[in-house]
Amino acid sequence: MELKLTTTMQDGIVTVHCSGRIVFGEEASLLRETVKKALTKNKDIVLDLGEVNYIDSGGLGTLVGLYTSAHQSGGTIKLAKLTRRVSDVLQITKLLTVFEVYHTEAEALESFRQAV
């Protein structure tokens, strides 16, 4: 299943809803382009991974690259609604210690509001 992305904005915070697979190639490129475009307008990004059924090393590399790009531009990327599979991969690779992860999109959005 290819990666499908939709974006929403609430209170100046962009949420990128991901559905499908985040894998090396077109899918990772699409995610990278979408998030980098959003970062030019908004510093705060939530990646909703609730419908991501698979992520490979290329997808992980994309997440890390986006995290770094956001951080360097003064922004923040937070993850929400991890599926069991994605959560397991992030835990095994120790990336759960890098990203702020929330159970719901609402919790991630609220964490940005509380930081202000």
Q: Which residues of 98-114 are buried (b: 16+ CB within 10 A; e: fewer)?
A: ebebbeebeebbebbee
DSSP codes, 26-95: HHHHHHHHHHHHHHTT-SEEEEEEEEEEEE-HHHHHHHHHHHHHHHHTT-EEEEES--HHHHHHHHHTTG
Domains of the chain, earliest start first: 4-115 (3.30.750.24)
pLDDT tens per residue across span 10-51 = 989 999 999 999 999 999 999 999 999 999 999 999 999 999
Phi, psi of 47 (to 5 degrees): -100, 110
Assigned token pair, 13: 């915070």
Using one digit for the tens of pLDDT, what is the confidence trace for 47-94?
A: 999 999 999 999 999 999 999 999 999 999 999 999 999 999 999 999
Return the pLDDT at 114.
87
**pLDDT grade, residue 115 (50/70/90)?**
confident
**pLDDT at position 1 over 80:** no
